[in-house]
């Protein structure tokens, strides 16, 4: 059970146990809400939110795509995130801002309803498990395709988009896998149910272009690290068979961090354990988010 002391709701901190909403909340019925997933890590200078500005910017972009007006400024949301973490006394936590249409009118037009904004945070360990992080996970190519770019807005973190992700995730879990890999309608590999994908073959690291995928901030971080390490990198379409014969595969996301993949559709990937490039990037990523490398300290927003 997720537990916290306080939740931020429309400008004030309220008790976690009292953070309740009406059953006619428009977004509950129709899914037009936008959210973010952010992490705060303990560093030697205190807790720091990783790439907070970029996450808040994406929240506003998601809203913009959905015709939604968030009734707070970016800076107000940023301050509210700090306030919520401090009120709960967390040192390491996951942060979930969400903007959604409140109750009032029903029917598919949400625009006459008020936009509510909440920020919830809680202590959350490795999303795909501590063992997954260390030894790698098993994935299944989903029978569900990732949204076509003109069916759902793939660059927005919209609540309703995650029905597709959940179908894929549930299917993978029921079949004994840890995570789903989703193909686009043309059959090219896009991403996991909530993580971007990187594939390594013969020393070259590849990730699909940011067309039909969610433009992950972790993806962007990893690309920066790859470039700074002068590793060979390509942003290119990836086929399903290319995944099977990869030397290494890893998934990236704020929740999943950098999680190695050791098997896809009962084909062992590489040696069946996290490869050297994956381990190197994972190691570096954890140092970066924990403020251990000065060069990347500008990505940290210290909790004040
Ligand atoms: C949030 C999300 C990601 C990861 O994005 P980050 O910014 O790295 O957390 C990847 N894919 C999907 C579908 C997502 O919703």
Quickly state the pLDDT bin for 47 (edges 50, 70, 90). Answer: very high
Quickly state the pLDDT bin for 191 (edges 50, 70, 90). Answer: very high
The question of whether 74 is a catalytic residue gets the answer no
Question: Which residue out of 160, 196, 223 has the highest number of ligand 1 atoms within 8 Å of its CB and is therefore the one to mutate?
Answer: 196
In whole angstroms, what is the distance from residue 155 CA to residue 100 CA? 17
Question: Which atom of ligand 1 approaches the CA of 220 most closely?
Answer: 8
Quickly state the pLDDT bin for 270 (edges 50, 70, 90). Answer: very high
Q: Tell me, what's the pLDDT at 116?
A: 98
- Pocket lining: 158 vs ligand 1, CB cutoff 6 Å: no
C-alpha 212, offset from chain centre:
15
Question: Which atom of ligand 1 approaches the CA of 221 most closely?
Answer: 8
- Pocket lining: 219 vs ligand 1, CB cutoff 6 Å: yes
Map tokens 């690290």 to a residue. Answer: 225
Q: Which residues contact 33 (CB under 8 A, 6 or more apart)?
A: 27, 98, 99, 100, 101, 158, 159, 160
Where does 123-247 show beta strands of DSSP type E? 137-141, 179-183, 189-192, 196-201, 204-207, 232-235
Tally of residues, the chain: 304
Contact between 181 and 243 under an 8 Å Cβ cutoff? The reply is yes
Q: Give pLDDT tens digits for 118-170.
A: 999 999 999 999 999 999 999 999 999 999 999 999 999 999 999 999 999 99
In whole angstroms, what is the distance from residue 15 CA to residue 20 CA? 10
Candidates 3, 69, 74, 157; catalytic one: 157
Q: How much helix, strand and coil, in percent to the nearest 5, is found in the chain?
A: 30, 30, 40
pTM: 0.97
């Amino acid at each position: 059970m997720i537990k916290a002391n306080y939740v931020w709701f429309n400008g004030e901190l309220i008790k976690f146990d009292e953070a309740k909403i009406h059953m006619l909340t428009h977004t509950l019925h129709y899914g037009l809400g936008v959210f973010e997933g952010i992490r705060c890590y303990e560093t030697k200078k205190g807790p720091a939110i990783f790439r907070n500005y970029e996450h808040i910017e994406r929240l506003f972009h998601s809203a913009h795509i959905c015709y939604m007006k968030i009734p707070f400024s970016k800076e107000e949301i940023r301050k509210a995130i700090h306030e919520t973490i401090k009120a709960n006394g967390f040192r390491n936590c996951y942060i979930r801002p969400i903007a959604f249409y409140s109750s009032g009118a029903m029917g598919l037009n949400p625009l006459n309803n008020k936009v509510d904004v909440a920020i919830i945070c809680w202590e959350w360990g490795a999303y795909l498990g501590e063992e997954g992080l260390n030894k790698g996970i098993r994935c299944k190519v989903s029978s569900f395709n990732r949204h076509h770019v003109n069916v759902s807005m793939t660059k927005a973190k919209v609540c309703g988009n995650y029905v597709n992700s959940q179908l894929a995730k549930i299917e993978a879990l029921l079949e004994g896998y840890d995570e789903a890999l989703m193909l686009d309608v043309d059959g090219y590999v896009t991403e996991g149910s909530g993580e971007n994908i990187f594939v390594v073959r013969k020393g070259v690291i590849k990730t699909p272009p940011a067309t039909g995928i969610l433009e992950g901030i972790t993806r962007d971080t990893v690309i920066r690290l790859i470039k700074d390490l002068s590793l060979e990198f390509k942003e290119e379409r990836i086929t399903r068979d290319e995944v099977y014969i990869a030397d290494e595969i890893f998934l990236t996301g704020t929740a999943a961090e950098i999680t190695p993949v050791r098997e896809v559709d009962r084909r062992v990937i590489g040696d069946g354990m996290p490869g050297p490039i994956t381990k190197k990037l994972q190691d570096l990523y954890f140092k970066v988010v924990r403020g251990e490398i000065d060069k990347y300290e500008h990505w940290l927003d210290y909790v004040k």
